[in-house]
């Protein structure tokens, strides 16, 4: 694990030196701060609008950061040929992939904390506070980003950044639409097409577990500004994210281990 931790820290240091990362973080913070200005335009809905826009900005930019940096993690090492100096040492390929993933996850965790602090400061300036539902939704957002990061690293282990980015974005959009895909599959009369859609919905991650505000959970409408999911639901969603992430990383390690660098 010392080798994995060394790669994790090195990846983290590289990520925080990435100028694009700071550009995306700046825009995320700008969206969160601007949500206060938009909230001021509403009547008696300032806090609600700030929360909605702030959390939406967090989710969007964290996913963008995960995809943009994740698809370049392994490819950049190959392009700079630094992987040729690392792998001949007593470092297994699975340790290399795991370290890269953990390094990016650590980076995204820090980014999440920064955005959460900014949103909390904006809410405090409005006389509101960060309530339990907001904290739980932040946790769900982070676990969704962890799943997206694993998918980005998976495609990065065998494909180019452009294709990896397109594949990851496609999986993300499908994951957000899993309930809709299943609803369409249930209404289609053609067995082959219905089975195909069911198969797609079973393979891609169900990211609607993490995009819950405004949705119906077990027949109950939930909202971060009203009735929201409890910590039990968050724990279940976190468990699902952990299992799915572990499986994706295992496939990524297997593919990277079989990759020929010659």
In DSSP notation, 84-148 reads: HHHTTTT--HHHHHHHHHHHHHHHHHHHHHHHHHHHHHHHHHTT----HHHHHHHHHHHHHHHHH
Which domain covers residue 180, as residue numbers? 2-258
Which tokens belong to 67? Answer: 């995809």
pLDDT digits (tens, 9 = 90+) for 81-94: 666 666 656 677 78
Overall domain count for the chain: 1
Q: ∠ CA(137), CA(198), CA(152), 5° rounding?
A: 50
pLDDT digits (tens, 9 = 90+) for 194-206: 899 999 999 999 9
Q: Give the SS3 label for residue 216.
A: strand
Closest CA to 155 of 140, 133, 137, 170: 170
Distance CA 87, CA 239 (A): 32
- Lowest-confidence segment of 4-18, 94-108, 199-213 by average pLDDT: 4-18
pTM: 0.89
């Amino acid at each position: 694990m010392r080798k994995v931790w060394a790669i994790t820290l090195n990846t983290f240091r590289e990520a925080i030196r990435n100028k694009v990362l700071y550009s995306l973080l700046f825009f995320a913070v700008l969206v969160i701060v601007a949500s206060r200005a938009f909230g001021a335009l509403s009547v008696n809905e300032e806090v609600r609008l700030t929360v909605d826009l702030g959390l939406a900005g967090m989710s969007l930019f964290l996913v963008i950061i995960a995809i943009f940096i994740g698809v370049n993690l392994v490819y950049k090492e190959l392009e700079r040929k630094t992987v040729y100096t690392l792998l001949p040492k007593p470092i297994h390929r699975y340790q290399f992939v795991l370290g890269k993933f953990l390094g990016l996850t650590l980076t995204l965790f820090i980014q999440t904390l920064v955005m959460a602090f900014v949103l909390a400061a904006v809410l405090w300036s409005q006389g509101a506070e960060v309530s339990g539902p907001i904290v739980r939704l932040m946790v769900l957002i982070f676990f969704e980003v962890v799943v997206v990061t694993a998918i980005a690293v998976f495609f990065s282990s065998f494909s180019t950044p452009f294709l990896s980015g397109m594949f990851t974005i496609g999986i993300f959009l499908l994951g957000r639409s899993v309930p809709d895909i299943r609803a369409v599959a249930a209404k289609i009369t053609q067995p082959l097409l219905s089975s195909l859609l069911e198969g797609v919905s079973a393979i891609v991650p169900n990211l609607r577990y993490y995009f819950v505000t405004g949705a119906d959970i077990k027949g109950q409408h939930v909202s971060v500004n009203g009735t929201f999911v409890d910590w039990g639901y968050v724990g279940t969603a976190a468990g699902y994210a952990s299992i799915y992430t572990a499986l994706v990383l295992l496939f990524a390690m297997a593919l990277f281990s079989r990759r020929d660098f010659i």
